[in-house]
Chain A
């Protein structure tokens, strides 16, 4: 895809006049002039993103500190074998996919719902306070989240916790949450929604503001209820934004949210059956070794899979929702 497009750019740059002015765009010279606006960001990407990518060669090398990246001997695909020969690869890949899909779907849904609901609130003061409060969890560090979770689920010393107290109050059996892997995908999802819901709702709120009032006025004249207007007018207009977030999220679906998961689950092996993702597994098994080659190989694998998924997502999007396609 990108090679084709590079060629396109080159052709475009060398042709003095566009062959057939597409739609009503200005001539190419004008386009290049607009293109200058992208220059600072492009320069940034070249220097701080693309230049350092030469470092990726280490994924194919038997790394050692003294020889560094260029001096270390090549070892072909050996580094990639480590992860796939572990016998755990299947389970971990599945966990990664499941957890991230859950996170992505739940946080997007929460962001949209919160934005719609906030949009319904008339009292300016209440709305402002509400917006500030729901944005707040985004700032809470993973360590503090894990402290709060322990208070809720385990209490000091690991027997008790607010949730168990409540369960006992209703005469229900209590749960040893920290040795029961089953509920953890859901617990982590709740944490993610709590953490990101407010953050994402801000993005959607900004999108809602750009919806012209006339659209709603027309709806009101037709006698539509607020709920109907939200459903028929606002949500369809939020689709492009949601689509962008979705595509961006799909590309990173093979990365876990390492910071949060590791802070909460840590080295608690009893929870790994449902919570161990690629990033945590690699961190755990390689932290002692300091082998940059193997870790770079796993990272490259994640990138390539992400690349394939995004390409697929973009192609689907172009086919079915061309308007909202960004790539």
Chain B
């Protein structure tokens, strides 16, 4: 029975449905890639371009000839890697404490972690805190620390922890395993899929983060990539008001598309690594059906 491969209607519907959504995602993706290699003069008359013709790498040249682009890649990688590791550790810890439903502890901590999602003191206090009390300006940690724990992801992880099979934990307790041991030896290994997802989301946040960098990083040699790119795109718009006669104008449309491509690239490369964890789990669950 388990081996029988019957093509069920729902499977067909699924393939068609997912395929349709994929098309909706691939077409704009192709428009971005193709457009980023198309000459500005064509883009500006049609607004898009489905084939990179006339071919042009002007936008990429502009991005990659910047003096600080390599430093920016380094900064972003540092912020993403270190930030994700720290965030994942802090988030798993608090999420497990909430998920454990400890009387008198879990619920207050849950409320405590949730309220910052609603209430925020604003920029000025944060700015003063980081620059005048913590003295973190021009440090990568000024970008990482204010974003360290996202309440949203804490609760995603809580709900995943709650679905761990109670029996395994219970038997570990009966075997006399301590709470910390249970957490590190049983809970975390069993939660690889959700850790991969939450880690991926954190990585994406850090990789795209430019606003905290804008606030706290003034040294151009320490700009992370998104901030550098943000500046570049805005500058193209405003530099039209500046006196220069350096031949051709910078390509506005093309640059916007190329910047999207440059930002997405590394994350799409990293995606399959995180994906391994949750796809494998699913395959196990599904193929037996």
Contacts and interface: CB of A to CB of B under 8 A. Distances in A.
Interface of A: 1-2, 5-6, 8-9, 11-12, 18, 22, 25-26, 28, 30-35, 37-42, 44-45, 47-56, 58, 68-69, 113-114, 116-122, 124, 127-141, 143-144, 147-148, 150-151, 155-156, 194, 197-199, 202-203, 205-213, 216-217, 219-221, 225-227, 229-230, 237, 240-241, 243-245, 248, 251-252, 292, 296, 299-300, 303, 306-307, 310, 324, 326-327
A122 B287 contact: yes
A131 B94 CA distance: 29
Interface string B250-289: 0001001101100110011001100100110111111111
B96 interface: yes
5 cross-chain pairs, A with B, having the tightest CB-CB distances, nearest first: A209-B281, A52-B121, A12-B104, A52-B125, A227-B10
30 contacts: A5-B107, A8-B108, A12-B104, A22-B103, A28-B104, A31-B104, A34-B100, A44-B148, A48-B146, A53-B119, A56-B119, A69-B125, A117-B13, A118-B18, A120-B11, A133-B25, A134-B21, A136-B29, A137-B28, A140-B32, A143-B256, A147-B257, A150-B47, A156-B46, A227-B9, A240-B159, A245-B156, A303-B119, A307-B118, A326-B155
A42 B107 CA distance: 13
B198 to A, nearest CB: 9
Contacts of A40: 89-90, 93-94
B242 interface: no
A6 B93 contact: no
Interface centre among B18, B94, B117, B278 (most CB of A within 10 A): B18
B162 to A, nearest CB: 6
A18 B100 CA distance: 17
A217 B272 CA distance: 29
A229 B288 CA distance: 13
Contact of B260 (A12, A139, A241, A300): A139
A56 B122 contact: yes
Given A52-B129, A124-B279, A133-B26, A117 B18 contact: yes
Contacts of B159: 207, 240-241, 243-244, 324, 326
A8 B271 CA distance: 43
A299 B124 CA distance: 14
A34 B97 contact: yes
A98 to B, nearest CB: 21
B258 to A, nearest CB: 11
B256 A144 contact: yes
B105 interface: yes
B235 interface: no
Interface string B141-160: 00001101101101110111
Given A34-B102, A55-B121, A56-B122, A206 B97 contact: no
B117 A156 contact: no
Contacts of A136: 25, 29, 264, 268
B279 A131 contact: yes
B163 A327 contact: no
A279 B100 CA distance: 37
B15 interface: yes
A132 B93 contact: no
B112 A210 contact: no
B111 interface: yes
A130 B271 contact: no
Contacts of A48: 126, 129, 145-146, 148
Contacts, number: 337
B175 interface: no
B9 A212 contact: no
B8 A227 contact: yes
B286 A120 contact: yes
B120 A299 contact: yes
A225 B8 CA distance: 7
Contacts of A52: 120-122, 125-126, 129
A69 B112 CA distance: 25
Interface centre among A132, A209, A216 (most CB of B within 10 A): A209
B2 interface: yes
Interface of B: 1-2, 8-11, 13-15, 17-19, 21-22, 24-26, 28-29, 31-32, 44-48, 89-94, 96-98, 100, 102-105, 107-122, 124-126, 129, 145-146, 148-149, 151-152, 154-156, 158-160, 162-165, 173, 178-180, 183, 193-194, 196-197, 200-201, 204, 208, 233, 253, 256-257, 259-260, 263-264, 267-268, 271-272, 275, 278-279, 281-289
A326 B98 contact: yes
Contacts of B233: 143
Given A2-B111, A206-B160, A209-B282, A38 B94 contact: yes
Contacts of B13: 117, 227
A8 B17 CA distance: 50
A145 B125 CA distance: 33
Given A140-B28, A296-B122, 14 more contacts: A9-B104, A9-B108, A40-B93, A41-B94, A54-B125, A141-B259, A148-B28, A194-B25, A202-B197, A206-B197, A213-B284, A292-B124, A306-B118, A327-B110
Given A56-B121, A140-B28, A244 B129 contact: no
Contacts of B116: 45, 49-50
B90 A44 contact: yes
B289 A130 contact: no
Nearest to B264: A139
B179 A34 contact: yes
